[in-house]
Structure 1
């Protein structure tokens, strides 16, 4: 598709560029990686990009190094009258001359919608600017928090000109909530940097005194929906000999709780904290485990399959369509089933070898970053022309 005519018709005579503002909130790990990928790809297509996110996220994800303008906006993970008002004011300023606003997640979508609805307060800010919202996560809260989130979810779904779901179940949910236009918008995992160690060296770095001990790797932010508590439950039921060591790489609010459990119950788990050497950890691992209560297009699953590391993963959200037959699927919330799958795979080198070969083949079926950016840019063009 030729995007030049759309850019010239929507960005004003001064620049001839389409201006896209990408918005995300605090605590957005995988979302931040995706937004960085979009920012880099869009700027390469000649699009002017502004990224609105909490100030510390630029150091973490490197948005400003993509060629995008970084506009710090403190969009907190939870609502607060004063903080929300400040964020909406900053978003209004960032949205000036925007051709499209693309928010990632419910909080970012809600505040972006409120900023656009009060567009008349600043010159150059148009209330008809198309709003795209990507749903990255299912709502897993309970009680009053769940009810409040569902109200926000409905408001955002109905306000957005387009809702993109990172998995098919999120698209169905948006339609159920009354979205006028909801489509699948897969999130591609950026290519994983090559590790600096081969398998022998990577294993020696982790287990210098136990070269034959199986290694099971789990990676992710230590938050409840990742199900790491269930993974600890499963380690108590592992029966293989020698028993595997579970490496848990990541940080987050559950870190202290999980560390206390590991120590109190003497579990075969080592918490590694935040790591930047995931490729080396993958090289060392005999298999990767994902125990989440829900995932859309898990970056860890994509990294494991691309690296040819056997994967055991809960059959939730978009995982089955993502991994196909290239991973072992287990029911969510069942530590015994998870333990049996891990034991069975560690005891079956032939099956592990077959999965190691199937992973990269399955990865070839996924859209890459270039295809993802092209798809998103095409939707921007469509929305701008419609507006």
Structure 2
């Protein structure tokens, strides 16, 4: 079960579906139809059942019907997990949930989030958290069994590969307007917790550098108009390029990757940056330290000056950048593979569905 699904959780579900099908498991992915168009669950060998987003009053009924013959249900994300709890009410079907990120909310919405977390944690047979912080949160919330999840960053699909002998970096940089100047790349939905206000504050100071770096932000969200207004009013060297399907190419062409906010617990950008050997500057929040170790420049969260200074230092220190690239390569070798991720999930499924021997 997948709700709207961010890029990380959707790609993870696609990877799991392919790996489980290859091991003989019958997999049905319940998600909005747009998710299947983007991530091709059916191409991975799974059946796809359209289940609308949580705002649709028919979503729980659709999910309940889809789960009629299920031996086990695995829900990803808080809202998808809560709908799974409702859909499975009165049934003995085991429920596994994966928490990929800590939901961000304020005021009344934060209270509702805590209620949902408690209901889901107590109803699930197993809660898998992508970071130790999320595992601890699940335990505090009442989970009977909470474990650290092995989550691999799926490799590029065949459609994403290129036949060109040379990487397309010069072309990408020219398209973005970053010829003869550093290219700084940030990726993620344009939401408050992503730290884009801090990024624009830092970019104001970078106007004094020679050459002036270009900051490119790939993503869409509710802050688009507000951020664009600031960029124009303050004449900031920042481009919002919207949602892109070539983020891997954009990142590979960048001089630095930027993660200014509290973002994801297991940041996809951080993983892709280290895989692409692009030095990363990140706010020290969530599970970032656990994910990247010493393979990135980590600065205090919500500290514009520290973030800005770290970027300036790296732009002027090619040796440190090369050291971070090598550290990143070593760090990625410690992350679980897709096969290891599937094996862990399958062992949880077997544990919950295999008949227990009589004592």
- Secondary structure at the residue paired with 2:33? coil
Q: Give the drift of 1:134.
A: 0.7
Counterpart mapping for 1:168-317 below 5 A: 168-192=132-156, 193-194=160-161, 197-207=167-177, 211-238=179-206, 239-317=208-286
Determine the structure 2 residue equivalent to 1:141: 105
- Secondary structure at the residue paired with 1:362? helix
Q: Give the drift of 1:114.
A: 1.1
TM-score by length of 1: 0.86
Paired with 1:98 and 1:56, the residues of 2 have a C-alpha distance of 23
Q: Give the drift of 1:27.
A: 4.7
Q: Give the drift of 1:386.
A: 6.4
Query: Greater shift after overlay, 305-314 or 250-259?
Result: 250-259
From 80, 86, 96, the equivalent of 2:68 is 96
Say if 1:202 and 1:283, in contact at 8 Å, map to a contact too. Answer: no
Paired with 1:324 and 1:309, the residues of 2 have a C-alpha distance of 15
From 52, 55, 59, the equivalent of 2:33 is 55
Query: Greater shift after overlay, 192-201 or 164-173?
Result: 192-201
Q: Give the drift of 1:349.
A: 0.8
Paired with 2:111 and 2:210, the residues of 1 have a C-alpha distance of 47
Q: Give the drift of 1:160.
A: 0.4
Say if 1:282 and 1:309, in contact at 8 Å, map to a contact too. Answer: yes
Distance 1:386 1:106, change over 3 A: farther
Determine the structure 1 residue equivalent to 2:9: 31
Say if 1:215 and 1:244, in contact at 8 Å, map to a contact too. Answer: yes
Determine the structure 2 residue equivalent to 1:66: 44
Say if 2:63 and 2:84, in contact at 8 Å, map to a contact too. Answer: yes
Unaligned runs of 5+ in 1: 1-22, 119-126
Aligned residues: 349
Deviations 1:164-187 (A, max 9, x none): 001110000000011000000132
Q: Give the drift of 1:372.
A: 0.6
Paired with 1:115 and 1:352, the residues of 2 have a C-alpha distance of 50
Say if 2:5 and 2:77, in contact at 8 Å, map to a contact too. Answer: no
Say if 1:198 and 1:283, in contact at 8 Å, map to a contact too. Answer: no
Say if 2:3 and 2:32, in contact at 8 Å, map to a contact too. Answer: yes
Counterpart mapping for 1:3-18 below 5 A: none
- Secondary structure at the residue paired with 1:367? coil
Distance 1:313 1:276, change over 3 A: same
TM-score by length of 2: 0.93
Q: Give the drift of 1:221.
A: 1.8
Determine the structure 1 residue equivalent to 2:86: 114
Over 6 Å off, 4+ runs: none
From 161, 181, 194, the equivalent of 2:125 is 161
From 363, 368, 379, the equivalent of 2:332 is 363
Say if 1:186 and 1:297, in contact at 8 Å, map to a contact too. Answer: no
Unaligned runs of 5+ in 2: none
